[in-house]
Structure 1
Amino acid sequence: MASPDRTRSEGRTPVDLLPVLQSSGVLSERMFEEISSRVDSGEYPADPNGLAERLVRDRLLTAYQARRLLANKAYGMLVGRYVILDRIGAGSMGRVYKAHHQMMDRVVALKIIAPELSCNDRVVARFQREMKLVGRLDHPNVVRAYDADRANRVLYIVMEYVNGESLGDRLKRSGPIPAAEMIDYAAQAALGLAHAHEQGMVHRDVKPSNILLSEDKKVKILDLGLGVLMEADEGATFATADGIAVGTVDYMSPEQALGRDVDGRSDVFSLGCAMYHLMTGKLAFPGESPIDRLGRRINNRHVPITDHLPDFPAAAQRVLDKLMAFKPQDRFQDASEAAEALQSLIRPRSRKPAPALAPAPSPPPVAPRPPEPAEEAAVARPPAPSPATRPPAYPRWFAPLAAAAVSRPNILLTIGLAAFALTFAAGAVVGYLLK
C-alpha cells in the first residue's frame, strides 16, 4: 500500500472528492452511498486528501486511483467493463494497466492502444482481424487474451495478468541473467512463438520487454498481434513515449530492417538478439545511434558473445549464432526447431548436477544413448507448416533509413540521418488518454 503522502494532490487546488469519485465509475452506487454516509456522520474525513488516504487504507481505492481523482481526472478510469486499478507500463503502441472486471471479479492486464492509432480506420480493421487470430492462441508460454474492443474512441485488448516482470525489467533491476537460466527462458519463449507461428502469426517485435517472467519462472510472450498495427498506419513515425523506438531496432532481423517480407525466422533472429542482450547486458549489434546499430545488423557484424562471456560454452554459442544468422535460410527454420536446440543444452543438467553450463572434461567414448521418453515428449512436435509470411510492420519512412544504413558512404551522412530520425520521431510522441 502506498504511503499517505503519495495520495495527496501536491501543488493542486483541492477538489471536492465525492463528486469526482461518483463520476469516475470506479465504485458501485451502493458503495459510493455508503462512503457518502460515513463522511456525513464524521466517520470519514471530509477533507479531500484525508478522505483519499482513508479510502486507500480501507482498500476501497488504489493509490493510483486516489492520485488521479485528487487531480480531478475521473475520465478514463472506466474502460468498457473494466475499472483501472494501476498503471503497469508503456509500450510502443499504447499503455498497459492493471484493471478489474467488476462482474467477473477478475484482475486483468488492459492494454489501451494509442489514440492516434485507434482513430485510424485501417488500424481498426487490422486490429479486428488480428484479434480473431489472437483469440485462437492457447499456450502456457503465450499471454492469454480474454477480450478486445473499442471504448471511449480507443482500442483495447484485455489479457491475463501475469504476476511477475518482463525480462527487460529484470535486466535493469539485477543485471545480466546467468546463461543457464536464460537458455531455459529462451526455450520457453521459442515454444510460445512456435505456437503462434502454427496459427499463422508472426510476432515482429520480440524483445526483452515483451517476454514476461512469472513468479513461478514461467515465460510468457506478450503483444502478439500488435506488431502489424504500425504497418496499417501509413503515417506512423515509429514513435514511442520516448521518441524513436530504439529498443525495437536493436532486436529486429536484417530482412525486417530492410523492409522485406518476414516470417517466423525473423522472430527467431529477434529472440537470439534478446537472449544475447539479457545474458551480457550488451547489444549484439552496438553503435552510437539507431542508424549505426541498424547498419551493423544489415552488414552482418555482430560481436561474438565470448567477447563478453569468455567461458560461454561452445555448444551454446553455436545455437546462439544460428539463431542470429544473417540469412534466414541459415537460421533454425522454425521456432520449434530453435526450442529443441535450446532444450538440448538444458537436458544434460537434468541428469547430473553441474555448474551452470560449465565446460566439462571430455568423457570416454560411449554408445549413443537414446533420449529419455519424458524429455523427448517435452520437445517432440509434428512437422510445422511453412511459417506465415507477411510484409514488415513498419511505416514507409523507415525503408530509406535502412537503405542509408546499408550504404553508409560516410560518417557525416550517418550522423545526419540519425539526427533527422530522432528529431522527426520525437515530434510524433504518442499523446495518451491516461497519465
Structure 2
Amino acid sequence: MLGENLLTTGKADAIHYRGQTRIVKNTWNSMLTHDQNLQIDTICEAFERAWSSGQTPAIEDRLAIVSDSARSHLVQRLVEQDLQCRIRSGFTPDPDMYVRRWPDLDRRALDACARDWRHTADELNVTSQKAARAKACSVEECLQRLQKSGLIQEPQLNHIRTVAGEYTQAEALATRLVQAHVLTPWQAHVLIFEPNELLMLGEYVLQEIVGSGGMGTVYRAMHRRMKRPAAIKVLRRDLAHSADLAKRFLREVEVAARLHHPNIVTAYDAGEQAGVSFLVSEFVEGQNLADLVREYGPLSLPLAVDVVCQAARALEYAHKQGVIHRDIKPSNLLLDDMGNVKLLDVGLARIHQEQKAAPAESDLTMSGMIMGTFDYMSPEQAMDARMADAQSDVYSLGCTLFFLITGRAPYAR
C-alpha cells in the first residue's frame, strides 16, 4: 500500500487514508498539508452536492473556511467546478467573469475546463435530441413490455398496474419507477423507446450499458437469485451470422474460462439466447487506466510501477496457461476501488499450442493480419499477428507503463 505522503503536483496517486484507498486527482497541491488538501476536497464535494440539489452556491461563502495559504488553491478548484456545473445546467459562462473577480486564477486551466465540458454537454444534447425524436409508447404498451421483459415479478407488477392509472404518459410512469428504484434509467428508456432491446439474459437482469465496440456491447447486470453484479459482453446480432466472428467470440469464451487469477477478470458463464451469444464475467467497480490518466493526468512513478507489476503478474500467469493476450493497453487494464489491477478483454487472445494443431483448431488469425492496437503493438505483431508471443505482450506492457507516467503513447504523433 502506498503511503499517505505521496502528494505530487500534476500526477494522480493512490493513498491510504482512514482505511480507504483512493485515487487523488492532480488538483492536490504538494505545497499544502495532507489535511488541507482533504479539507479542500470536502468543501468541493459539498459544493457539487449543492449544485446537484438545485441550489446555486456562492463561491465566496466557502473561502473563509480555509487558511490563507490554501485559499488560492480552493478558489481555483471551486471556480472550475462552478464552471462545469453551469455548463451542465445549460448556461454558457464566460471564464473572464471569474478572472475579473479573482485575477490570480489560471486562465489556461479555465479555458481547457470550459472547452472539455462544452464538448461533453454537446454530446449529451445530441443523445437527448435522438431520444426526443423517437416515438414513446403508451402507458398500456409500457406495461405490456414490462411484463414481457421479465424484469418484474407478478405481485409487484400488479401494484404497478394500479399505480399506472394515475398517469397518461409512459415517460411519467417510467420516471416514477426509476425514482422508486424499480427500474434503472437505461431500463426505463429501453421500455419506452426500444421494444426490441433485451433486458434479460437467462437469470441476469441487464441494468445499463457500460461499454461498446466493434464486436458487441458490454452491460452491467445483476444475477436475479444470487444478487451478484456481473459484466455481460454480448456479440452484436448482425455479426452472429459471421462464422469467423462467431468462432472468435467462442475462442474468447474458451480463453476466459481457463484463466483464474486475482489480477484477471473472472469469467462466470457463457451462453446463447434468442440468437444472442454472451459471456458473463466479474464486474469490476473502478476505471480503466486510459480514462484514469485522461481524467487525472499521468500517474506518479510509484503508483505506475505498482499497477504495471500487478499486470505483469497477470500476464505471467496467462502465459503459463498458454494464452497470449495480443492487446495489452491502458484501456484493457482496470484499477478497482481497492487499488487492484484487473486484466480484461481476451477477445484477441491466442492459445499457444506446443504441438501443431489441425487447421480447424489453429489460430483464427490469417497470415499478415494485423490485430491489436498500433500505439502499443510490438514490431513483430505489427508485421503479422500470428508472430505475437509472450515477449510481444511484455513489449505492450512496457508501452503502457510509458503512457501511465507521461500521458501519451511512446510513438504517438
Aligned equivalents of 1:276, 1:84: Cα separation in 2: 37
Partner of 2:200: 78
Q: CA shift at 1:82, angstroms?
A: 1.9
Aligned equivalents of 1:164, 1:133: Cα separation in 2: 23
Q: Size of the alignment, in residue pairs?
A: 274
Partner of 1:224: 346
- Is structure 2 residue 277 aligned with structure 1 residue 155? yes
Aligned equivalents of 1:269, 1:145: Cα separation in 2: 26
Q: CA shift at 1:89, angstroms?
A: 1.2
- Asked if structure 1 preserves the Cα contact closer than 8 Å seen for 2:376 and 2:396, the reply is yes
Partner of 1:186: 308
Q: 2:163 aligns with which of 38, 44, 47?
A: 38
1:357-372 equivalences in 2 (<5 Å): none
Aligned equivalents of 1:127, 1:140: Cα separation in 2: 23
Partner of 1:304: none
Q: 1:99 aligns with which of 196, 214, 221?
A: 221
Aligned equivalents of 1:283, 1:106: Cα separation in 2: 36
1:368-398: CA deviation from partner (whole Å, max 9, x where unpaired) = xxxxxxxxxxxxxxxxxxxxxxxxxxxxxxx
- Is structure 2 residue 168 aligned with structure 1 residue 18? no
- Is structure 2 residue 151 aligned with structure 1 residue 29? no
Q: CA shift at 1:169, angstroms?
A: 1.1
Aligned to 1:135, what secondary structure does the other structure show?
helix
1:170-189: CA deviation from partner (whole Å, max 9, x where unpaired) = 01211111121111000000
- Asked if structure 2 preserves the Cα contact closer than 8 Å seen for 1:186 and 1:275, the reply is yes
Aligned equivalents of 2:278, 2:348: Cα separation in 1: 11
- Opposite residue 379 of structure 2, the aligned amino acid is P
- Asked if structure 2 preserves the Cα contact closer than 8 Å seen for 1:134 and 1:225, the reply is no
- Opposite residue 176 of structure 1, the aligned amino acid is P
- Asked if structure 1 preserves the Cα contact closer than 8 Å seen for 2:235 and 2:249, the reply is no
Partner of 2:209: 87
Aligned to 1:26, what secondary structure does the other structure show?
coil
- Opposite residue 396 of structure 2, the aligned amino acid is S
Q: CA shift at 1:267, angstroms?
A: 0.7
Aligned equivalents of 1:55, 1:183: Cα separation in 2: 46
- Opposite residue 135 of structure 1, the aligned amino acid is A
- Asked if structure 1 preserves the Cα contact closer than 8 Å seen for 2:255 and 2:349, the reply is no
Aligned to 2:209, what secondary structure does the other structure show?
strand
The alignment's TM-score, normalised by the length of structure 2, stands at 0.60
Aligned equivalents of 2:134, 2:347: Cα separation in 1: 41
1:351-382: CA deviation from partner (whole Å, max 9, x where unpaired) = xxxxxxxxxxxxxxxxxxxxxxxxxxxxxxxx
The alignment's TM-score, normalised by the length of structure 1, stands at 0.57
1:253-289: CA deviation from partner (whole Å, max 9, x where unpaired) = 11110005221111101111111112111220123xx
Aligned to 1:250, what secondary structure does the other structure show?
helix
Aligned to 1:284, what secondary structure does the other structure show?
coil
- Asked if structure 2 preserves the Cα contact closer than 8 Å seen for 1:79 and 1:152, the reply is no
Partner of 1:337: none
**Stretch deviating more after TM superposition (22-31 or 269-278):** 22-31
Identity of aligned residues (%): 38
- Opposite residue 219 of structure 2, the aligned amino acid is Y
Partner of 2:179: 57
Aligned equivalents of 2:190, 2:248: Cα separation in 1: 32
Relative contact order (alpha carbons < 8 A, sep ≥ 6): 1 or 2 greater?
A: 1
Q: 5+ unaligned residues in a row in structure 2: which ranges?
A: 1-51, 54-88, 90-123, 352-362
1:381-420 equivalences in 2 (<5 Å): none
- Asked if structure 2 preserves the Cα contact closer than 8 Å seen for 1:147 and 1:157, the reply is yes
Partner of 2:254: 132
- Is structure 2 residue 323 aligned with structure 1 residue 198? no
Q: 5+ unaligned residues in a row in structure 1: which ranges?
A: 239-244, 288-435
- Is structure 2 residue 288 aligned with structure 1 residue 166? yes
